Chains A and B, each alone.
Chain A
Amino acid sequence: MQFFGSSDISPSPTVPTASGNNAHMMYVFNRNGVCLLYREWNRPLRTLDAQQDQKLMFGLLFSLKSLTAKMDPTTAEKGNLGVPQLPGQGCSFHSFRTNTYKLSFMETPSGIKLILVTHPRTGDLREPLKYIYNLYVEYVAKNPLYTPGTPIRCELFNTSLDQYVRSIA
């Protein structure tokens, strides 16, 4: 599916990754902490039940956003630690990497948070995450059968997401 013909968003951005590996998992949250989507492709280790796992992930990102903004050495104006921020305020953290995985994050001003966990050698996923946001717009936001704020149960979205993620990870 082509979106706008512009070169800003292309279906398969060149991303240096280890080929043949699948992405591990994906989360989509809304501004209220509701987990709209949890998609798992390759997750051998699971230590918590689904609900706790999702809350942990959301909480982790919430704290990270606040921390990274507070630690920003380039600006004098910082919110206080723990004080809620407006989307787009402060610096925007977009990924962290451990020896076993990379977590890539994108947050929209409308509070939609996309989290993709992949192989640690994955490159910059900011463009792919934007593409996935576009998939969300096409198949979820514009789906007459979807009620905003509820978990996404949409075959068209799942299929296009699976297909796209397979092509980038």
Chain B
Amino acid sequence: MAPVAPRSGDAIFANVERVNAELFTLTYGAIVRQLLTDLEEVEEVNKQLDQMGYNIGIRLIDEFLAKSNVSRCVDFKETAEVIAKVGFKMFLGVTASVTNWDADGTCCSIVLEDNPLVDFVELPDTCQGLYYCNILSGVIRGALEMVSMKTEVTWLRDMLRGDDAFELQVKLLKQVPEEYPYKDDE
């Protein structure tokens, strides 16, 4: 049986159950607002959003793999492309691009110009230092960890802070292959 090629982001997005982006945007906004009220410190909110994203990412990876038909995840370069073209498309309905590769192919930027999370969102001045979309960095980090890649994800550009795009830097720290999990004496 010939290996099945991975599906395109557009094809998958057309076939999954979709909902009004508004519900998503408003729910996320309400969560961020509530977190700001409950936690008060912007740094704490950033941390919580990242943690929430991580928890989402470790579940979402299986949906991603099942629907996109990706069966191998070895090359970091390929992985980044797949996240940008397939991952973002099949969940958020938007495509991202990958740029700024470093010399040894372990660090790149994922750039997003269109982002449903921030539709109609304006940050008040009291939220200096808030990474509103920090959930995305957690999702990517969590999902990649489940495919054996430990990464560091940081924001380089943020449209809510006046930049012209959203830019996430994804740095591969190490690949962690599966070890035999049982102790030999058992």
Assess A/B contact in the complex (Cβ within 8 A): yes
Interface residues of A (CB under 8 A from B): 3-6, 8, 31-33, 55, 58-59, 62, 84-89, 92, 108-112, 124, 126, 130, 133-134, 136-137, 141-142, 148
Chain A residue contacts of B63, Cβ below 8 A: 137, 141-142
Closest Cβ–Cβ distance, residue A152 to chain B (whole Å): 13
Docked Cα-Cα span, A141 to B142, in Å, equals: 14
Interface residues of B (CB under 8 A from A): 1, 4, 7, 11-12, 15-16, 58-63, 65-67, 69-74, 146-148, 175, 177-182, 186
Can you sample 27 A-B contacts with CB below 8 Å? A6-B7, A6-B15, A8-B4, A31-B178, A33-B180, A33-B182, A58-B182, A62-B180, A85-B177, A85-B178, A86-B74, A87-B73, A88-B71, A88-B72, A88-B73, A89-B74, A92-B71, A108-B65, A109-B70, A109-B72, A111-B148, A136-B62, A136-B66, A137-B67, A141-B59, A141-B60, A141-B62
Closest 10 CB pairs of A and B: A88-B72, A33-B181, A109-B73, A84-B177, A4-B15, A110-B146, A141-B62, A109-B147, A137-B66, A86-B177
Chain B residue contacts of A87, Cβ below 8 A: 72-73, 147-148, 178
In the complex formed, the residue of A with least CB distance to B12 is A4
Selected contact of B178 from candidates A84, A92, A130, A148, CB within 8 Å: A84
Chain A residue contacts of B60, Cβ below 8 A: 141
In the complex formed, the residue of B with least CB distance to A88 is B72
Chain B residue contacts of A142, Cβ below 8 A: 59, 63
- Summed over the interface, the residue pairs from A and B with CB atoms below 8 Å come to a total of 94
Other A-B contacts than A31-B178, A32-B181, A86-B178, 18 sampled, CB-CB below 8 A, are: A4-B12, A8-B7, A33-B180, A33-B181, A59-B182, A62-B180, A87-B72, A108-B66, A109-B73, A109-B147, A110-B61, A110-B62, A110-B65, A110-B147, A130-B66, A141-B63, A142-B63, A148-B58
Selected contact of B1 from candidates A108, A126, A134, CB within 8 Å: A126
Chain B residue contacts of A6, Cβ below 8 A: 7, 11, 15
Secondary structure dominating the interface of B? loop
Closest Cβ–Cβ distance, residue A150 to chain B (whole Å): 13
Docked Cα-Cα span, A92 to B73, in Å, equals: 13
